[in-house]
Amino acid sequence: MTDERCPGCDGELRMLGFLLCLRAEDQKRVCRTPAWCPRCDRAWFRWADRPDDALEEDTAVPPGFYRRMARR
């Protein structure tokens, strides 16, 4: 997954590993693969068990969260 593009601005996304979350729609614990766009500072994610899905915007993340994570 090297050339994921930001659905918002077409910038290059940084994939930030995996994050285990409780998925509300089916009450399952599933990993998300968070992606962050340094160009427009928006966060996106996809469920790890649905690799063919389009990226969804992650609106629950506090501002700057992924910026800090990407710096490490």
Binding site residues, Zn ion, CB under 5 A: 6, 8-9, 11, 37, 39-40
* H or E element at residue 14: strand 14-15
Identity of the residue, 11 or 31, whose beta carbon is nearer to Zn ion in the bound complex: 11
* H or E element at residue 67: helix 65-71
Identity of the residue, 10 or 49, whose beta carbon is nearer to Zn ion in the bound complex: 10
Please report how close the Cβ of residue 37 comes to Zn ion at its closest, in angstroms.
Answer: 3
Q: Residues near 30 by Cβ (< 8 Å), separated by ≥ 6? A: 20, 21, 23, 47, 48, 49
Identity of the residue, 23 or 39, whose beta carbon is nearer to Zn ion in the bound complex: 39
